[in-house]
């Protein structure tokens, strides 16, 4: 293999060093240009009123914009007499349960209080 003269080696080394320096400067410039958070901070600091106004307008548009309405399709039953029957049964059941709860409430309260007092007596008599 042929040997490269010393003069050419020095030129190649200097070219490599120059390209490394240029690459480092290019990467530094690229990092500076892609630093978006810094750019936003500087922009907000320099143009605060415009930013606040734009955010207020966007917030207002979001608040005023109508919500998307979901379409609900309901199939009507063939027999219209049965439509109110289930509702009537549910109402009657709720009424009966409410009446039963009113009648059973004193007995239930007496049972719960007796259990609680019995529990507190056994706890107070337990050896410590």
Q: Render pLDDT for 74-123 as a digit per residue (tens, 0 to 9).
A: 876 665 555 567 778 888 899 999 999 899 999 988 988 888 887 766 66
Q: pTM for the full model?
A: 0.37
Rounded to 10 deg, the angle between the 48-64 and 36-46 helix axes is: 100
Q: Return the biggest CA–CA distance within the chain.
A: 113
DSSP 1-44: -PPPPHHHHHHHHHHHHHHHHHHHHHHHHHHHHT-HHHHHHHHH
pLDDT tens-digit profile of 5-30? 777 888 999 999 999 999 999 999 99
Mean pLDDT across the chain: 84
């Amino acid at each position: 293999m042929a040997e490269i003269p010393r003069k050419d080696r020095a030129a190649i080394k200097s070219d490599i060093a120059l390209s490394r320096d240029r690459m480092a400067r290019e990467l530094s410039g690229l990092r500076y240009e892609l630093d978006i958070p810094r750019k936003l901070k500087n922009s907000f600091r320099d143009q605060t009123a415009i930013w606040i106004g734009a955010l207020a307008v966007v917030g207002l548009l979001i608040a005023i914009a109508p919500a998307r309405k979901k379409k609900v399709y309901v199939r009507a039953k063939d027999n219209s007499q049965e439509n109110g029957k289930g509702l009537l049964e549910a109402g009657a059941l709720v009424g009966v349960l409410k009446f039963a709860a009113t009648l059973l409430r004193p007995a239930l309260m007496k049972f719960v209080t007796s259990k609680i007092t019995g529990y507190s007596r056994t706890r107070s008599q337990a050896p410590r």
